[in-house]
Structure 1
Amino acid sequence: MTKTANGQFIISLLESFAPKKLAVEGDPIGLQVGSLNKSVHKVMIALDVLESVVDEAIQEGIDLIIAHHPLLYRPLKKIDTAAPQGRVIEKLIKNDITVYAAHTNLDVTAPGVNDWLSSALQLQQTEVLLPTYEEQIIKLSVYVPSTHAEAVRQAIGNAGAGHIGNYSNCTFSSNGMGTFMPLEGTNPYLGEKDKLEKAEEVKIESILPLKLKNQVLSAMKKAHPYEEVAYDIFPLLNKGSELGIGKIGVLEKEMTIEEFAEHVKKAFGIKNVRVIIGHDHSIKKVAVVGGDGNKYIFPAARNGADVLVTGDIYYHNAHDAQAEGLTIVDAGHHIEKIMKKELKLVLENELAMRKYGTAVIESKIVTEPFTFM
């Protein structure tokens, strides 16, 4: 039996994947129009909230639009329903369609927009181009009878604990003797009420990002046989995973600039790119930043990129790139449309795991404003 999800619940799933704290300061993410306090039968993932996208949402019976680019990027002084933006807001309110924006938090999270772009380019050995956030790491120690140690170990690993570099399910175990006395009102797995019990137990230790604490603890308790689970959580000074804007990695094989431009067009399903040629050697190391890449020319150059794939490069910044010996492939801001398919898959999976029947669709409207003639 499937259930219909509440708007707040859907956004809680989204924000567990792309927390607000990851957003660049001043980015107007979050609820933009409408209310989340309602049942949501159908969600649409969109890159932009244009009037044509809202008309599509009305036709599709959408309750919630999750967009990458905020509809309300600057504060409004008035809502004039005769003007284009006011007309969009009016349609949304009249048709009870809520709009929520996940912008730079969706860029920074992992996997996020820039991971999806780098995967489309088939980059290997990728790292963050410009770190903006470091995940806090915690340590979990749980005491479990030896008969259930493997089940608990697998449960916390499957929930995300134990990732160290490119290794998963990393744990350490030590054996010992646990003691406990069940009191009135208990229903113990082992032992009798008011009698001290001894049990051979295993202490399982693992590390995990703080953001996964609740889901790891939930999985641990579900797999653990005890009515009351004994466990400890410690904050660590270990360096966690770095998150940030953009990715940088290497191609499987070197390409000429001409070959790489064709590779970009094929990867993103586009017909044209602008190329700023900063050198005459082949392309091996590639930086990618979805959206406006003007601020990331120097980070790409400092990190040894041969080329930066991005959008919206300004004329004078193109000269700066050439002076740095950096080639740029301006593939357009619209390559971020990749988030529609990928975020749809994320939300569909999260909802299905919890047996919710809320449908998630991609907007089919093309919001690319540029036409090459």
Structure 2
Amino acid sequence: MFAHGQTVIQIMEQLAPKHLAMENDKIGLQLGTLQKEISKVLIALDVTDKVVDEAIALGAELIIAHHAIIYRPLAKLDTSTPAGKLYEKLIKHDIAVYIAHTNLDTAEGGINDWMADLVGIVREGRASLEVVHTDKLYKLVVYVPAPHQEAVQQAIWNAGAGATGNYSCCSFSSEGTGTFLPGDHAKPFIGKQGQLEHAAEVRLETIVPQSLQRKVVQAMIKAHPYEEVAYDLFPLENTGTSYGLGRVGKLPEPIKLGGLAELVKQAFDVPAVRLVGDPDSVVRKAAVLGGSGGRYVKHALFAGADVLITGDIDYHTAHDALAAGLSIIDPGHNVEKIMKPRVADWLSAELGKRKYQTTAIASGEDTEPFRFI
């Protein structure tokens, strides 16, 4: 059985939730339809003419890419232009294009974490360069007949509620008596129409992050025996999990800048890097950011990093960093290609867990526009 297009995206958004994207970022479905079964998904960094040909040859009905193919509203669709020809080819072969951009950068276990892992930044104490989203927390209170407390509680936990710090399955319960009067058209689980009922109930309280609120409430209602479920959601002042762009942290051991540059070349499979700083200087703390990271020089300095590893550094930014004492290793924007095999492996595994025959395949096309000679 192949997965429906919407199902594939629902799974993908568990890795890269849409609410983690930067404001006005061009993410989500950009072309085609998800109202169809998907046998193959092609995972790409960029959607180029060769990548589309690759998708056609593979028989892929969906491309999940990191970089958008539509950046601004289209005034017209001229199929004589390079972009128009690309859209036309995708439409003619019924290939949908879905974009996961800054939400995949920001997500825990996304591009910036993969980059940090490859560079060797230790996980303990690792932080974001810039926080862009903090999950608000809510207290969920629901009243459950005592014999059904465990079932409702487990459903809530399974949906992701009750987690705080390094602890899970956190809740509080107290016993009491609930009263209700079923109306003429009610179908009460306990009691009878027209008779005031007193039921032994449990007040169950737990914490729910805003991002999981809908999922948790749906799971709770499904597990609850009552026709009408009494529950409340209270906003809390407590801060939830924070998500951000870039990563910064300590390296396992000090390393010379030149040695780290060689490591970056190997880790990201690039023929060369641009280096700002003294190759013999010692690096203890490093920052990484996928894509264009020029505007994060100040963030890296504030975080105490010795070096910023990112792409698209311009001449004047390089001078500013050098004057401020921050080294830079620029391996190019295209190092984000590391997302292709990782997303493909993750998505294929998640589809397999659900018994779908749909597979995700990493694009083999090199979309690096620059060549080193």
Give your verdict on TM over 0.5. Answer: yes
Equivalent residues in 2 for 1:189-268, closer than 5 Å: 189-191=189-191, 194-268=194-268
Corresponding position of 2:43: 45
Distance 1:338 1:166, change over 3 A: farther
Q: Is the 8 A contact 2:2 2:37 kept in 1?
A: no
Equivalent residues in 2 for 1:112-191, closer than 5 Å: 112-123=110-121, 124=123, 125-181=125-181, 188-191=188-191
Quote the offset at 1:322 in angstroms.
Answer: 1.0
Q: Please give the alpha-carbon distance, in whole angstroms, between the structure 2 residues aligned to 1:58 and 1:140.
A: 48
Q: Please give the alpha-carbon distance, in whole angstroms, between the structure 1 residues aligned to 2:156 and 2:118.
A: 31
Q: Please give the alpha-carbon distance, in whole angstroms, between the structure 1 residues aligned to 2:181 and 2:119.
A: 59
Corresponding position of 2:106: 108
Q: Is the 8 A contact 1:278 1:325 kept in 2?
A: no
Letter aligned with residue 252 of structure 1: P
Quote the offset at 1:305 in angstroms.
Answer: 1.0
Quote the offset at 1:316 in angstroms.
Answer: 2.2
Match of 2:360, SS state, is strand
Letter aligned with residue 274 of structure 2: R
Quote the offset at 1:267 in angstroms.
Answer: 3.6
Which TM-score applies when normalising by structure 2? Answer: 0.86
| Structure 2 residues without counterparts, runs of 5 or longer | none
Which TM-score applies when normalising by structure 1? Answer: 0.86
Q: Please give the alpha-carbon distance, in whole angstroms, between the structure 2 residues aligned to 1:235 and 1:251.
A: 38
Quote the offset at 1:48 in angstroms.
Answer: 0.5
Corresponding position of 1:63: 61
Letter aligned with residue 247 of structure 2: K
Distance 1:137 1:331, change over 3 A: same
Q: Please give the alpha-carbon distance, in whole angstroms, between the structure 1 residues aligned to 2:54 and 2:183.
A: 61
Equivalent residues in 2 for 1:267-282, closer than 5 Å: 267-277=267-277, 281-282=281-282
Across the two proteins, how many residue pairs are aligned to each other? 371
Q: Is the 8 A contact 1:278 1:323 kept in 2?
A: no
Equivalent residues in 2 for 1:275-314, closer than 5 Å: 275-277=275-277, 281-314=281-314
Q: Please give the alpha-carbon distance, in whole angstroms, between the structure 2 residues aligned to 1:263 and 1:202.
A: 57
Identify the range of structure 1 (76-85 vs 300-309) with the bigger mean alpha-carbon deviation.
76-85
Quote the offset at 1:142 in angstroms.
Answer: 1.9
Distance 1:98 1:114, change over 3 A: same
Q: Please give the alpha-carbon distance, in whole angstroms, between the structure 2 residues aligned to 1:325 and 1:147.
A: 65
CA-atom RMSD, angstroms? Answer: 3.0
Distance 1:103 1:184, change over 3 A: same
Q: Is the 8 A contact 2:2 2:39 kept in 1?
A: no
Q: Please give the alpha-carbon distance, in whole angstroms, between the structure 2 residues aligned to 1:189 and 1:172.
A: 24
| Structure 1 residues without counterparts, runs of 5 or longer | none
Q: Please give the alpha-carbon distance, in whole angstroms, between the structure 1 residues aligned to 2:333 and 2:223.
A: 46
Distance 1:344 1:235, change over 3 A: farther
Q: Is the 8 A contact 1:144 1:203 kept in 2?
A: yes
Q: Please give the alpha-carbon distance, in whole angstroms, between the structure 1 residues aligned to 2:330 and 2:172.
A: 48
Percent identity among equivalent residues?
A: 51
Quote the offset at 1:209 in angstroms.
Answer: 1.8
Equivalent residues in 2 for 1:14-53, closer than 5 Å: 14-15=12-13, 18-53=16-51
Q: Is the 8 A contact 1:278 1:321 kept in 2?
A: no
Distance 1:267 1:143, change over 3 A: farther
Q: Please give the alpha-carbon distance, in whole angstroms, between the structure 2 residues aligned to 1:278 and 1:223.
A: 62
Corresponding position of 1:86: 84
Distance 1:52 1:228, change over 3 A: same
Distance 1:156 1:249, change over 3 A: farther
Match of 1:162, SS state, is coil
Q: Please give the alpha-carbon distance, in whole angstroms, between the structure 1 residues aligned to 2:265 and 2:205.
A: 47
Deviations 1:281-317 (A, max 9, x none): 5322221110111111111111111111111222222
Quote the offset at 1:62 in angstroms.
Answer: 1.4
Q: Please give the alpha-carbon distance, in whole angstroms, between the structure 2 residues aligned to 1:198 and 1:253.
A: 66
Distance 1:232 1:347, change over 3 A: farther
Q: Is the 8 A contact 1:178 1:199 kept in 2?
A: yes
Identify the range of structure 1 (124-133 vs 256-265) with the bigger mean alpha-carbon deviation.
256-265
Q: Please give the alpha-carbon distance, in whole angstroms, between the structure 2 residues aligned to 1:283 and 1:313.
A: 19
Q: Is the 8 A contact 1:130 1:299 kept in 2?
A: yes
Match of 1:334, SS state, is helix
Q: Is the 8 A contact 1:172 1:206 kept in 2?
A: yes
Q: Is the 8 A contact 1:138 1:235 kept in 2?
A: yes
Q: Is the 8 A contact 2:139 2:207 kept in 1?
A: yes
Identify the range of structure 1 (318-327 vs 279-288) with the bigger mean alpha-carbon deviation.
279-288
Q: Please give the alpha-carbon distance, in whole angstroms, between the structure 2 residues aligned to 1:203 and 1:354.
A: 34
